[in-house]
Structure 1
Amino acid sequence: MQIAWNEFTPTTSFAGGVLIGLTAVMLMASLGRIAGITGIVAGLFRPVRGDWAWRAMFTLGMIAAPLIYRQFSALPEITLDTDWIPLLIAGLLVGIGTRLGSGCTSGHGVCGLARMSPRSVVATLAFMTSGFLTVYVVRHLF
């Protein structure tokens, strides 16, 4: 993947972060639920009566948002400098990690840290440390 640093826009990044935070607060205030994306999507595959509709709408909103955004502005070009097999392996490892960590970065990193959950602090530190080490190993040792 290549990042065009000359096109970095802190304003839109800040706005995106504010929207994620507002969404997490709205979900907690309205339904008393944590905005952990892994848990929300997983709940679609093991439906509980009265719990499926909000999960489906939340997931649909995540899919629809870039499609709506595209109507007003161009989406950034994404290029991948790797084959599909490493991507599939990485996705599998992320899935295993979210199960082992009982959640993902949105649940622990956004919502859990905001609630000052000790478990989320440990999980977020583990996520970040693993990411830093992976980038170091891939970029500097291979």
Structure 2
Amino acid sequence: MQTEWINALLGGVLIGISVSLMLYWNGRVTGISGIINGVLSPLKGDSQWRVLFIAGLVLGGLVMRQMNSDFFENTLQTPMWTVGVAGLLVGFGTIMGSGCTSGHGVCGISRLSPRSLIATVVFMVAGTLAVVLFRKLGILL
């Protein structure tokens, strides 16, 4: 029996719950690029929760890896330098797009933000085109 759709559904529900709780308890949107940006250019007294949030993301992944070594299956067959370049491009994209996929796609759309709706459509179209193009050319994938 395939359980991939169940895992995706449960993951989506958990993300939705965590984003809702962050907004309810802290009055803050869970946009990862905004949280990281706040650590890199902190306002007075505003960086502690951001550092703890990022640490929680990293530690949560490490704990899951310890509990089940197959949890993060390594399927990348590309050099790490390309992953680094991709990360930098994503970073520049989040600056240009005023947010990342979690900020726009999860938080912005749920708040009925027109800018977030447009950004999410652009993310999806660009991602789909990239996958189609790379598969057609046989690059990276």
Question: Greater relative contact order: 1 or 2 (C-alpha under 8 angstroms, separation 6 or more)?
Answer: 1
Structure 1 residues 94-103 or 83-92, which shifts more?
83-92
Q: How many equivalent residue pairs? A: 137
> 1:101-130 CA deviation, whole Å, 9 max, x = no partner?
000000000000111110000000111111
How far 1:56 sits from its partner (Å)?
A: 1.1
- Conserved in 1, the CA contact under 8 Å of 2:19 and 2:29? yes
Q: Which residue does the alignment assign to 1:76?
A: 72
* Residues 104, 116 of structure 2: 8 Å contact kept: yes
Q: How far apart are 1:45 and its partner, in Å?
A: 1.2
Residue identity matched to 1:63: V
Residue type at the aligned position of 2:130: T
**What do you get for the CA RMSD once the two structures are aligned?**
1.8
User: Among 49, 72, 95, which residue is 1:99 paired with?
Assistant: 95
Match status 1:111 vs 2:107? yes
Name the counterpart of 1:3.
none
Gaps of 5+ in 2: none
Unaligned runs of 5+ in 1: 1-5
Deviation at 1:9, TM superposition (A): 3.1
| CA deviation map 1:61-118 (0-9, x unaligned) | 1011122223433323213211233222222211111111000000000000111110
1:33 aligned partner, one-letter code: R
Question: 1:64 aligned to 48, 59, 68, which one?
Answer: 59
- Amino acid paired to 1:77: E
TM-score by length of 1: 0.86
**2:122: which partner in 1?**
126
Give the aligned residue type for 1:130. Answer: A
CA distance in structure 2 between the partners assigned to 1:28 and 1:34 by the alignment: 6
Question: What is the TM-score when the length of structure 2 is the normalising length?
Answer: 0.87
Fraction of identical pairs, as percent: 45
